[in-house]
Amino acid sequence: MKYIFFIIFVSHLQAQNHSYFSIIPDLGAIDDKCYLDAVTYDSNYIYILGSLLTSQDSNGRNKVWDIYLSKFDYHGKLIAKTIFPDSSDGIPYIDANYPMIKINESLYFYSWNLHEYPPQNNSDYEAFIIDIKNAKIIRKKRIPRPFPGDYYFIHYCKAFFHNGKVNLMFETNPNDTIDIHYYMYEIDTSLNNFKIDSIGRFNQKLTFYWVSKNQKNEYEFVGEVSKIKNGEITSEMNLFYMKMDSTFKIIKRQDYIGNFNYGFVTADNYTILRNEDNTWVMSAYDWVITKEPDPNYGKPTTLKFSPEFDSLIWKRSMYEKPVDVKLMNSWIYYADKMKDGSGYITAGDQYDQRVGGRENYAVLYKVSENGDSLWTRKYIPLGWTKERTVGTGMSQVKVSDFNTIIMGGIAGDRDQNYAVKAWLLHLDSDGCLVPGCNTTINTKDIIDKKDKAFVVYPNPSSSGKIYLLSRISSNEKYNLSLLNLQGIEIYKNEFLPMEGAQYFIEIPEKIKPGEYILQIKK
C-alpha cells in the first residue's frame, strides 16, 4: 500500500485580492437542484444568473423554478442572492445559456425562454433589462411573435448592443414543415419598441448564430446551413457568412465548403468571436471521421476565417489523436478570448467511454492566436466516481479583467436522484486551480519520486477548500483522508485519479484552524 502525505495548514486569512476556486454553491434550492445559465463580472465581483427549484409537492411534482442572480467575490464567497418573481404572465422560466448583452457597467439585456405547463410544441420569450449591481429587473416585456400559435419560435444568435438597440434573429415555422421564416427583431432599452422585419425565406435551412451591424449600418451574420434530403433537414451542415444591407438585400454570401461536415449543431452553442481586425474565430464540430453524420459524435474544432470568409486561415481540433469519437463524446457551449492576446478558450464537457463505464467531466481547451493547440483541462468534483456525473457541462466561460478564467455551468449528480447543481470555477490563465497544472511531468519521474503524483493547493487553505491536481490515472480507487497531528482521521473520501484532472475538497466547517495531515493512499 502506498501512502502520500502533505502537511496542510488551515487558516482564516486571505492575502490576495483574488484566489482560484471550484465551488458548488448552496443557493437554497430544493434538493440542491439549480442551473447556472449565464456569467458576467466586474473588477470586484462575479455574477451568475440561473434558475433554481423553489417549490414542489410531496410527490416531487408541480415544480416551480425561479430566476436568481447571485454575486460572488473573487475568493468564491457568496455575497448576495436575489430571487426574481415569475414572468409577467406567471409562466415558469426555462433555463437557457444566452449571453448577457452588456449595455453599460451595470445594465444588461437578457431574454429568457418561457414554457407553458404542460409543455406545448412552442415556447415564448421575455426580454429583460437587468441591473446586476443592484440586483433588480428594471423592465421586462414579452417578445411578440409574428405568427401566434406557430409550430416554433426561437433564436440562437449571439447579439450586441449597438446604437441604443439590440438585434436578434428569430426563426419561426407556421407549421411542422421545413417552411422556415426568418425575422430580424430590433429592440431598444425601453422595451416599448419592437421593430420586426422579415428578411426573406431561403431554399435552405439556415441557423443564425451571430448578428451584428457594421459602421455602414449593414448586417453581418455567421451561422450554419443544413443539407436537405428528400424534404427532411439532415445533420449534415456547413458554416456560412452573410452580409445584408439595411433593407435586407443580400450583399454577399460565402460558405465554407467542408463536405457538409462542420457545424455548431446545438441551440446553446455561443462560440463565435470576432477580432479587432474583423477576422473570425469560432469553435464548431467536425464529423468527417464519423463517416455517418451524427450530432452526437462531433469532434470540437476551432477555426479562424478572414473577415468575409474568403479564406480559412487555420483550424485546430481539440485533440489530434485518432480517437473513436463515439467513445469520446464531446460538447462545446461557449468561447472567449484571453485578454493578453495569447489565444482562445472553449468550454464544454465530455463523455469518455474508452476504458469502460462512462466518465463525464467539464472540459476547457485553449488554442493560440496562431492556431497551435496549447492545452486541454478536465474538471470533476472530488469524491464523485466516474459514473456519478451525468449531464455535466459548462454553460459559459469568460476572461476577466485580470486575465483569469471564469467558468460556470452544471454538475449533474446521479447519486442524488439526478439533481442538477450550479457549478462555478475561477481559474488562472492556464486553466489551473492548482498552479503548475500546465507543467509536463514524466511518468518515470513520478515512479522515481523525482516528482509528485498529486499536487495540493493552496497551502495554507483560507477558503475552506483544497484543490488537488492528479498527474496519474488509475482504475483503482484512492483514499483521501485528513488527519490531525495525533493521527486521528477527521475526514475521508475516495476517488479514481485521472491524469490532468483537477478536483476540489471542501473542508468540513467543524475543522478548526491549525495543522493537519492530508493522506492519499491506494
Report cis status (omega within 30 of 0) of the bond before 460: yes
Domain boundaries, given as residue ranges, for the chain: 1-18+442-522, 21-431
Query: Higher pLDDT residue, 357 or 102?
Result: 102
Residue 208: per-residue pLDDT:
94
Mean pLDDT of all residues in 60-82: 89
Amino acid at 17: N
3 state SS of 102: strand
Does the domain at residues 1-18+442-522 carry the CATH identifier 2.10.260? no
Residue 64: per-residue pLDDT:
80
- Greatest mean pLDDT range, 48-52, 198-202, 277-281, 418-422: 277-281
Residue 444's H or E segment, with its range, is helix 443-447
Q: Which residues contact 247 (CB under 8 A, 6 or more apart)?
A: none
Within its chain, how far is the Cα of 248 from the centroid? Answer: 32
Instruction: Name residue 212's beta-bridge partners.
Output: 220
Comparing CA positions, the residue from 450, 432, 431, 429 lying closest to residue 441 is 450
Mean pLDDT of all residues in 224-239: 84
> Are 75 and 21 in contact, with CB atoms under 8 Å apart?
yes
The predicted-structure confidence for 413-428, as pLDDT tens digits, reads as follows: 888 877 889 999 999 9
Residue 131: per-residue pLDDT:
97
Mean pLDDT of all residues in 371-375: 90
Residue 94: per-residue pLDDT:
64
The residue to which cell 468540513 is assigned? 508
- Greatest mean pLDDT range, 56-65, 346-355, 364-373: 364-373
Q: Confidence band (pLDDT; 50, 70, 90) for 380?
A: confident
The predicted-structure confidence for 335-352, as pLDDT tens digits, reads as follows: 999 999 999 999 998 887
Mean pLDDT of all residues in 19-40: 88
The residue to which cell 492519499 is assigned? 520
> Are 154 and 124 in contact, with CB atoms under 8 Å apart?
no
> Are 294 and 235 in contact, with CB atoms under 8 Å apart?
yes
> Are 24 and 422 in contact, with CB atoms under 8 Å apart?
yes
Mean pLDDT of all residues in 117-124: 56
The predicted-structure confidence for 476-516, as pLDDT tens digits, reads as follows: 888 888 877 777 888 787 777 877 777 767 777 777 777 77
Name the pTM for this structure. Answer: 0.83
pLDDT over threshold 50, residue 13: no
Give dist(CA 302, CA 314) in Å, integer.
Answer: 8
pLDDT over threshold 90, residue 331: no
* % of the chain residues with pLDDT over 70: 82
Residue 498: per-residue pLDDT:
75
> Of 118-132, 160-174, 235-249, 357-371, where does mean pLDDT reach its minimum?
118-132
Q: Confidence band (pLDDT; 50, 70, 90) for 8?
A: very low
Hey, what's the torsion of the CAs at 176, 180, 181, 184, to 10 degrees? 120
Residue 10: per-residue pLDDT:
43
pLDDT over threshold 60, residue 443: no
21-431 to CATH, choices 3.30.360.10, 3.40.50.2000, 1.10.620.20, 2.130.10.10:
2.130.10.10
Residue 445: per-residue pLDDT:
42
Residue 201: per-residue pLDDT:
83
- Greatest mean pLDDT range, 6-10, 209-213, 330-334: 209-213
Give dist(CA 315, CA 88) in Å, integer.
Answer: 45
Residue 275: per-residue pLDDT:
97
The predicted-structure confidence for 175-225, as pLDDT tens digits, reads as follows: 767 788 999 999 999 998 899 999 988 878 899 999 999 989 999 999 999
Cβ atoms within 10 A of the Cβ of 213, count?
A: 16
Give dist(CA 233, CA 120) in Å, integer.
Answer: 22
Q: Confidence band (pLDDT; 50, 70, 90) for 328?
A: confident
Average pLDDT, the chain: 82
Residue 12: per-residue pLDDT:
39
Q: Which residues contact 203 (CB under 8 A, 6 or more apart)?
A: none
3 state SS of 288: helix
Cβ atoms within 10 A of the Cβ of 401, count?
A: 9
Give dist(CA 423, CA 330) in Å, integer.
Answer: 19
pLDDT over threshold 60, residue 9: no
Query: Higher pLDDT residue, 30 or 359?
Result: 30
Q: Confidence band (pLDDT; 50, 70, 90) for 1?
A: very low
Give dist(CA 190, CA 342) in Å, integer.
Answer: 39
Q: Confidence band (pLDDT; 50, 70, 90) for 6?
A: very low
Residue 447's H or E segment, with its range, is helix 443-447
Cβ atoms within 10 A of the Cβ of 99, count?
A: 19
DSSP 31-44: GG-EEEEEEEE-SS
Question: What's the CA angle centered on 39, arms 33 and 43, to 5 degrees?
Answer: 130
DSSP 129-193: EEETTTTEEEEEEEPPPSSTT-SEEEE--B--EETTEEEEEEEEESSSSS--EEEEEEEETTS--
List alpha helices for 222-336, DSSP H.
none
Residue 284: per-residue pLDDT:
92
Query: Higher pLDDT residue, 114 or 375?
Result: 375
* % of the chain residues with pLDDT over 90: 37
Q: Confidence band (pLDDT; 50, 70, 90) for 442?
A: very low
Residue 403: per-residue pLDDT:
95
